[in-house]
A and B are shown apart, each in its own frame.
Chain A
Amino acid sequence: MNAARRVGASLYWITPPILCLTLYWYGIKTWFHADDFAWLNHASEVYTFRDFLHSMFAPEAQGTIRPWSERGFFMLFYSLFGLNALPFRICAFLTQFANLALIMAITRRISGSRAAGFLAALLWMANTSLAEVMAWSSAYNQALCAFFLLSAFYFLLRWMETGRRRDWVLQWVMFLLGFGALELNVVYPALAAGFTFLCARKHFLRTLPLFIPSVLFVVLHRMVAPPASGVYAMHFDLSMLTTLQVYWGWMLGASWLATIIPLSRWLVAAYNLTLTVAILGVVVWNARRRNWLLLFLLLWFAALIAPMLPLRDHLTEYYHFLPSIGVAMLGACALVAAWRGAVWSKALAAALAAMYLTVSLPAARMSTRWYYDRAREVRKVVLGVARAHELHPNKVILLEGVDDQTFWKGFVDHSFRLVGAQNVYLTPGAQKLIKPHPELGDPAEFVLPEGAAWWALEHDAAVVYNVREPRLRNITSLYRASMPEAWRSMYPARVDVANPAMVYLLGPGWYNIDINHRWMPRRATVTLAAPQTAGASLHLSGSTASGDAPARITVTADGVTLPGRSLAPGEGFHIALPLPPAPESKVSMEVTIEVDRVLTLPGDARQFGLAFGVIEVK
């Protein structure tokens, strides 16, 4: 190979990653946000080998396992780099660079065109589905799953070419490893079987054993996954078509761009219709000529989007990332074929490609910038709180001016635990600025009630920071001076006994705070707001001491005994006890909690009855 050809070959492979890095540059600088904190907390709680195994392989919410792409990824990088997000992002980018190389290699092989390989990488790279994957570490599962799917498919193609056993084995290895990245890996046998059936029929039967691990995985997954509920409830009805329309529109680009900048509905519809007709038209055209490759690539999209369609209430911005691989390869093959045709077909192909890139590139770029900006705000708050905690280690930290996005992306997954600050709350009334998302959490749990804020600030047990400025500003004196006098006599309806700002509500007997709970002996009291509505209940969340027999809990509210309950030993509990109606004028009530069984430990004079938790009237 002469020098010019070598340079050409290098440029061929290096250009897509460079363009990817340029387009998603903000993604590499994006800090942690949202679920990242849950995974980082998860990673920070591993102390023993048993913890490690549990953290790596125990099914999480919705029965997900994903040891490579979530648990292992966060554990490894957090242990090496702590809260430095850059290495996490670099890993995601390197994985995506590998994916781009794989899509090029695959498209080249299946189309026989180097140009198609290059175009496939460009079309996929420009797709809006990449924005979140390139800017959010928790979406790394998508990039890694793509890597395993594409690798397995690449080795299948090589095996079909060479017949070498090594390629066949490598296909199996990549396929099996893919189960540790994302559940969607189960569709790989359908891709392999679909391709061989349509384009290389003589290999079809060899692909059928690939279904065995997928079937086993589905059975196992259904055994460990909790019943789907809430936003994860599956809806097998006509709404699947609407969901398909949404993902298809997002993938084409204009519907996505319309969520960022104002675009005429007609313009979006015309754009979607044009590209859809072009894609379906070229598939049908080729199918009529018994060229099934493009149909297979459309089926790639269908196979990977199908499992997402029943999730009507959980539309996610990156769910079309893996399906869009098929459409990118399809587009690239079609463009190259059109380029070989008449002038009108060249012009049409160029116009369609330009249309797609004109819409998708800015959409992807703007989305990435949006994630970057949100994460930068979260970073400011979390690392500012870290400093505030250094300066005021024993005080509750109250944050004033937290907006909706920063709350949902930075608060609900307990980001502040990662910097050692356990007691960080929003100032009273801040929940009014937060848009409710019941599926994500209750903002009220993160707000310090008025009475507690008054007590904590008057007793120098809290500091207040304003987060609206480029750096967190301590406004404790100003805030203290502006607190309404009425707060002083207000009692919270929800008492977290491990919140140091609520210690004044606890009667004698409670032991010291133990991270996020407090033990009580046989008897303890707490004062909280009297019920304001008829039919209110007292909710108690905590855990019992270990032992052989159940413990009996007896609760009285202002002297009125509530129905007793039996609690299993050594377990968490949540009980709700109906409260008698209280006079309107009554603002507070004293709740007495008694338990008939306590645990004592050798060398410790304390008696451990129950650990709380939260006590709440609602």
Chain B
Amino acid sequence: MRRTLLAAALAALLCLAPAGCRSRRKVKVQQTEEEAPSLASMVHVADPKVSAQLVNGFYGVEQNAWRWTAGKFSVLLRPPRGAAQKGATLQLKFAVPDPIIAKLKAISLAASIGGKPLSPETYTQPGEFTYSRDVAADLLTGEAVKVDFALDKTLPPANGDQRELGVVVSVVGFEAR
């Protein structure tokens, strides 16, 4: 009986063990049905999935969180729901690093949508800021809106860094009103 039992146990092990060892991967994900890609209203500039919306003037992602800009930079955004009737608020979350103020004393940031300028703002201290401007409803019709930003001054290339440096941006987008 003992031999029979042992044989039975071994046979079961041989039959079943390969199936158990088929995958050592901890998580075998199941595919999902994704939507066709659409534009975001609010863009975290470090998110690789929205990098196509950063039209120009943005450098590579740093610290997985932000990007340096050049003197002029643009982004393509989807107007939020209801913006064509109520307008929206443009927000740019960014930082002005110490070296910018130390060398340039002050910088001004301006924005425009479809050629219509939004009022600029001047920054004389280093730190984190949010540039926020109301945008009229008539500028926010359609599926996508290009927003152009411009700085009056930038740090020129130096110390082997060939980039012209403006500000450090983390988030840009429209807030629904």
Cβ–Cβ < 8 Å partners of B158 in chain A: none
Structural contact, B35 and A475, CB atoms closer than 8 A: yes
- Verify if A481 is at the interface (C-beta below 8 Å from B): yes
Partner of B33, one of A83, A101, A383, A474: A474
Bound-complex Cα distance A10 to B7 (A) = 9
Also in contact, A391 and B16, with CB within 8 A (given A10-B4, A84-B23, A84-B28): no
Structural contact, A13 and B4, CB atoms closer than 8 A: yes
Chain B residue with the shortest CB-CB distance to A91: B20
Partner of A81, one of B8, B20, B82: B20
Structural contact, A17 and B20, CB atoms closer than 8 A: no
Structural contact, A93 and B16, CB atoms closer than 8 A: yes
- Give residues of chain B (14-35) contacting chain A, Cβ–Cβ below 8 Å: 16-17, 19-35
Main secondary structure of the interface of A (DSSP, over half): helix
Also in contact, A14 and B35, with CB within 8 A (given A87-B20, A458-B41): no
Chain A residue with the shortest CB-CB distance to B26: A82
Structural contact, B24 and A82, CB atoms closer than 8 A: yes
Cβ–Cβ < 8 Å partners of B52 in chain A: none
Chain B residue with the shortest CB-CB distance to A384: B30
Structural contact, A394 and B42, CB atoms closer than 8 A: no
Structural contact, B80 and A458, CB atoms closer than 8 A: yes
**Smallest distance from the beta carbon of A147 to chain B beta carbons, Å?**
13
Also in contact, A90 and B30, with CB within 8 A (given A13-B5, A82-B25, A477-B38): no
**Smallest distance from the beta carbon of A517 to chain B beta carbons, Å?**
21
**Smallest distance from the beta carbon of A490 to chain B beta carbons, Å?**
15
- Give residues of chain A (475-500) contacting chain B, Cβ–Cβ below 8 Å: 475-477, 480-481, 485, 488
Bound-complex Cα distance A386 to B27 (A) = 8
Bound-complex Cα distance A94 to B9 (A) = 8
Structural contact, B12 and A473, CB atoms closer than 8 A: no
Per-residue B-contact encoding for A373-389, CB less than 8 Å = 1, 0 else: 00000011001101110
Structural contact, A390 and B9, CB atoms closer than 8 A: no
Partner of A387, one of B13, B32, B173: B32
Stretch at the interface among A119-127, A400-408, A464-472, A589-597: A464-472
Bound-complex Cα distance A485 to B1 (A) = 74
Structural contact, A94 and B7, CB atoms closer than 8 A: no
Cβ–Cβ < 8 Å partners of A165 in chain B: none
**Smallest distance from the beta carbon of B41 to chain A beta carbons, Å?**
6
- Verify if A97 is at the interface (C-beta below 8 Å from B): yes
Bound-complex Cα distance A458 to B49 (A) = 17
**Smallest distance from the beta carbon of B25 to chain A beta carbons, Å?**
7
Also in contact, A9 and B26, with CB within 8 A (given A472-B32, A473-B32, A477-B35): no
Per-residue B-contact encoding for A412-426, CB less than 8 Å = 1, 0 else: 000000111000000
- Verify if A459 is at the interface (C-beta below 8 Å from B): yes
Bound-complex Cα distance A469 to B30 (A) = 13
Bound-complex Cα distance A386 to B29 (A) = 6
**Smallest distance from the beta carbon of A532 to chain B beta carbons, Å?**
26
Chain A residue with the shortest CB-CB distance to B36: A477
- Verify if B44 is at the interface (C-beta below 8 Å from A): yes
Interface size on B, residues (CB 8 A): 41
Cβ–Cβ < 8 Å partners of B82 in chain A: 485
Bound-complex Cα distance A138 to B75 (A) = 52
Also in contact, A471 and B12, with CB within 8 A (given A81-B24, A84-B20): no
Cβ–Cβ < 8 Å partners of A387 in chain B: 29-32
**Smallest distance from the beta carbon of B130 to chain A beta carbons, Å?**
13
Bound-complex Cα distance A597 to B25 (A) = 46
Structural contact, B31 and A471, CB atoms closer than 8 A: yes
Structural contact, A474 and B35, CB atoms closer than 8 A: yes
Cβ–Cβ < 8 Å partners of A480 in chain B: 81
**Smallest distance from the beta carbon of B135 to chain A beta carbons, Å?**
16
Structural contact, B32 and A391, CB atoms closer than 8 A: yes
- Verify if B152 is at the interface (C-beta below 8 Å from A): no
Cβ–Cβ < 8 Å partners of A558 in chain B: none
- Verify if A105 is at the interface (C-beta below 8 Å from B): yes
Structural contact, A86 and B47, CB atoms closer than 8 A: no
- Verify if A98 is at the interface (C-beta below 8 Å from B): yes
- Verify if B110 is at the interface (C-beta below 8 Å from A): no
Bound-complex Cα distance A578 to B76 (A) = 49
**Smallest distance from the beta carbon of A90 to chain B beta carbons, Å?**
4
**Smallest distance from the beta carbon of B111 to chain A beta carbons, Å?**
20
Bound-complex Cα distance A82 to B25 (A) = 7
Partner of B26, one of A83, A471, A473, A488: A83
- Verify if B150 is at the interface (C-beta below 8 Å from A): no
Partner of A383, one of B29, B43, B176: B29
- Verify if A460 is at the interface (C-beta below 8 Å from B): yes
Structural contact, A97 and B8, CB atoms closer than 8 A: yes
Chain A residue with the shortest CB-CB distance to B17: A90
Cβ–Cβ < 8 Å partners of A384 in chain B: 29-32
Bound-complex Cα distance A473 to B32 (A) = 6
**Smallest distance from the beta carbon of B58 to chain A beta carbons, Å?**
18
- Verify if B95 is at the interface (C-beta below 8 Å from A): no
Minimum-distance CB pairs A-B, first 9: A82-B26, A87-B20, A383-B30, A387-B29, A473-B33, A386-B29, A472-B32, A90-B16, A460-B40
Mark A residues whose CB is within 8 Å of B.
9-10, 13-14, 17, 28, 80-84, 86-87, 90, 93-94, 97-98, 101, 105, 379-380, 383-384, 386-388, 390-391, 394, 418-420, 458-460, 465, 469, 471-477, 480-481, 485, 488
Can you give 12 contacting A-B residue pairs, CB < 8 Å? Answer: A13-B1, A14-B11, A82-B24, A82-B26, A93-B16, A379-B30, A386-B29, A386-B30, A388-B32, A394-B47, A458-B176, A474-B35
Sample of 13 more A-B contacts, CB < 8 Å, known A10-B7, A90-B16:
A13-B1, A81-B20, A84-B22, A84-B23, A87-B21, A90-B19, A90-B20, A97-B12, A98-B9, A384-B32, A386-B30, A469-B33, A477-B35
